[in-house]
Amino acid sequence: MLKVGGKITYSTCSLNPIENESVVAAALKEFKGQIRLLKTELPGFRHQEGLKEWKFLNFEGKKKENESDSFFTEYHNYEEVPTQMKHITQTMFMSHYPAEILAELSKCVRVMPHHQNTSGFFITVIEKIAECPGDEPILA
The domain spans of the chain are: 7-128
Catalytic one among 8, 13, 129, 130?
13
CA dihedral 60, 62, 68, 72 (to 10 degrees): 0
List the end-to-end C-alpha distance of the chain, in Å, as a whole number.
14
Q: Determine the residue type at 58.
A: N
As separate numbers, helices (DSSP H) first and strands (DSSP E) second, the chain gives 3, 7
Question: Going by C-beta distance under 8 Å and a sequence separation of 6 or more, which residues neighbour residue 38?
Answer: 7, 107, 125, 126, 127
User: Is 132 part of the annotated catalytic residue set?
Assistant: no
Q: pLDDT category, 29, cuts 50, 70, 90? A: very high
- pLDDT on residue 31: 95
How far is Cα 82 from Cα 58, in angstroms, rounded to an integer?
A: 12
Q: For residue 138, is pLDDT > 90?
A: no
Whether the predicted pLDDT of 70 surpasses 60: yes
Task: Give the C-alpha separation, 34 to 37, whole Å.
Answer: 11
Better-scored residue on pLDDT, 70 or 78: 78
Beta bridge partners of 75: 56
Mean pLDDT of 30-40: 96
Asked if the model's pLDDT at residue 37 lies above 90, the reply is yes
